[in-house]
Amino acid sequence: MARHQSLADAVAEHVHDGDTVALEGFTHLIPFAAGHEIIRQGRRALTLVRMTPDIVYDQLIGAGCARKLVFSWGGNPGVGSLHRFREAVQAGWPVPLEIEEHSHAGMAARYVAGASGLPFAVLRGYLGTDLMTVTDTIRTIECPFTGETLAAVPALNPDVAIIHAQQADRAGNVALWGITGVQKEAVLAAARSIVTVEEVVDELSTPYGAVVLPGWAVTAVAEVPGGAAPSYAAGYSVRDNDAYQRWDAISRDRSTFEQWLRETVHATEVIA
C-alpha cells in the first residue's frame, strides 16, 4: 500500500544515484516539484527517461544530475530548443550526456511492454529512418504469422517512476484526468513509484476519463499543491505558457541558468 510521505523523504528514500528514473506527464501534469527536489538532493549519474524531456529535464541536465537521457522529443514545446540539453550534447557541459533516442510511438510501446511484463514491443515504425542506425535499442523482427518485417523495441523498466496527479485518498489510491499521457504505463513498468498530488482527499472525485491507480500499485504519495507548475493540473491550474517562453532566455547561457538554480531551486524548501 502506498505510503504518504513528504516529497523530500520520498526522493531521499526512493531515488538513488545511478538509478534509471522516469518523470512522466505529457505537457500536462509534469512533476516539476519532484524534479527540483532531485536537484536539491544532488542526485548524480541518473539515467533520465521521458518522452518529451521538456524544461524539467533541461533543468536536471543543466544541474548535472544526468548521465544518460532516453527520450523521443527534446524541445521546449511551442517555443524552441532546450538549451541545457543542447549544450550537454554538443559541449558535454556540465557533464557529458549519453543519449538513447526513439520516436514517441516507440517510447510509448516500450512503456507498455514494461508494464505488461514483456521483454519487448512490436510496432509499425522506424523502418527506413536513420534512428535505426544510431539507436541500438531499435531492431526488426519478422512476424511469425505473416512474415512482415516490423520494428521491435525493448521494454522500459525504470527503477523509479515519478508522476503528478490531481488527487490521492488516505489509502494512497491516485486519480489523474485530462491528458494522462503514458503515466499509468510508466508507474506499472517501474520497480518503485512516487506520485505527487494536488490534494489528498477523503474520497476521490473521478470525472469522465479518469485514470485511477490503486494504492497497492504505488510506492509513495506526497501532497504537493502546484507541484506541476509551470506545467498544469486540469481542474486546479492552467499551463504557465509565459514561464515556458521565459525559460528560453534563462536557459540560453550558463550563468543565467546557474543564477536561476540558486534563486529558484536551492533557495526553496519543499512545501510538504
Partner 1 sequence: MSAEPTWTADEMMTIEASRALHGVRSCFVGIGLPSTAANLARTTHAPDLVLVYESGCLGSKPDSLPLSIGDGVLAETATSVVSVPEIFSYWLQPGRIEVGFLGAAQIDRRGNINTTVIGPYDDPKVRLPGAGGAPEIAASCGEVIVVVRHSPRVFVDRVGFVTSVGFGDAPGDRQRYGLRGKGPQRIITDLGVLQPDESGEFILTAVHTGVSVDQVKAATGWELQVATDLHTTPAPSEQELTVLRHLETTKGQR
Under 8 Å between Cβ of 194 and 37: no
Stretch that binds partner 1, among 41-49, 75-83, 152-160, 189-197 (CB under 8 A): 75-83
Cβ nearer to partner 1, comparing 203 with 242: 242
Cβ nearer to partner 1, comparing 113 with 197: 113
Instruction: Kindly identify the residues of this chain, within the stretch 106-145, that bind partner 1 according to CB under 8 A.
Output: 108-109, 111-112, 123-131, 134
263 pairs with which residues across the strands?
A: none
Under 8 Å between Cβ of 160 and 191: yes
Cβ nearer to partner 1, comparing 13 with 101: 101
Binding test (CB under 8 A) with partner 1, winner from 238, 253, 263, 268: 238
Kindly write out the interface string for residues 40-69 of this chain, putting x where it contacts partner 1 by CB under 8 A and - elsewhere: -----------xx-----------------
| Rounded CA separation 219/244 (Å) | 31
Q: Does 251 bind partner 1 (CB under 8 A)?
A: no
What are the cell numbers at 166? 490531481
Under 8 Å between Cβ of 167 and 199: yes
| Rounded CA separation 95/17 (Å) | 15
Binding test (CB under 8 A) with partner 1, winner from 86, 246, 252, 254: 86
Q: What angle do CA 243, 244, 250 make, to 5 degrees?
A: 80
- Signed CA dihedral, 254, 239, 109, 161: sign only: positive
Instruction: Kindly identify the residues of this chain, within the stretch 142-181, that bind partner 1 according to CB under 8 A.
Output: 148-150, 178-181
70 pairs with which residues across the strands?
A: 49, 100
Question: What does the binding site for partner 1 look like in residue numbers (CB under 8 A)?
Answer: 26-28, 51-52, 71-75, 77-79, 81-82, 85-86, 89-90, 101-105, 108-109, 111-112, 123-131, 134, 148-150, 178-182, 184-185, 209, 211, 232, 234, 238-239, 241, 244
